[in-house]
Amino acid sequence: PTAIIIDSKGGQYEIEVEIGQNLMEAATDQGIDGIIGECGGVMSCATCHVYVAPEWFDKLPAVGDIEESMLDVARDPQDNSRLSCQIEMTEELDGIVVHLPVSQF
Ligand code: FES
């Protein structure tokens, strides 16, 4: 499956994400600069913050408590904010579109 990442300048990147792999891992493996994943996916850095396109947001499992508190300290959180290390690829999410915050490029 693939995911589409769009940066704040409109640059669009398609990455391959294996089923069960999270978006942060796949993005950092494939050299997407705007997703850092400093903490390695344990929800303590928020450098993997993304805005999930509305049509995809509802397909994701609910935001957990720890994720929610990290999103509070992320820059410019929005209603559709998620930590990309918590977005695990499934068949249903093939083609998911996420946008990067202006602070990440
Ligand atoms: Fe650190 Fe997602 S990689 S919170």
Report yes or no on 54 lying in a domain: yes
Structural domain total, the chain: 1
Percent of the chain with pLDDT over 90: 96
Neighbours of 8 (CB within 10 A): 14
HSE (side-chain half, CA atoms, 13 Å) at 2: 7
Ligand 1 pocket test, candidate residues 47, 50, 104, most atoms within 8 A of CB: 47
pLDDT of residue 103: 82
Q: Which CATH number goes with the domain that contains 23? A: 3.10.20.30
Task: Please write the tens of the pLDDT for every residue from 41-69.
Answer: 999 999 999 999 999 999 999 999 999 99
Q: Which two tokens stand for residue 49?
A: 């913050």
Residues with CB under 6 A from ligand 1: 24, 37-39, 41, 43-48, 70, 83, 85
Model ipTM?
0.99
pLDDT band at 77 (very low <50, low <70, confident <90, very high): very high
Domain hosting 74: range is 2-99
Residues 84 and 46: beta-carbon distance below 8 Å: no
Ligand 1 pocket test, candidate residues 28, 32, 35, 45, most atoms within 8 A of CB: 45
Cα of 40 from ligand 1 centre, angstroms: 6
pLDDT band at 2 (very low <50, low <70, confident <90, very high): very high
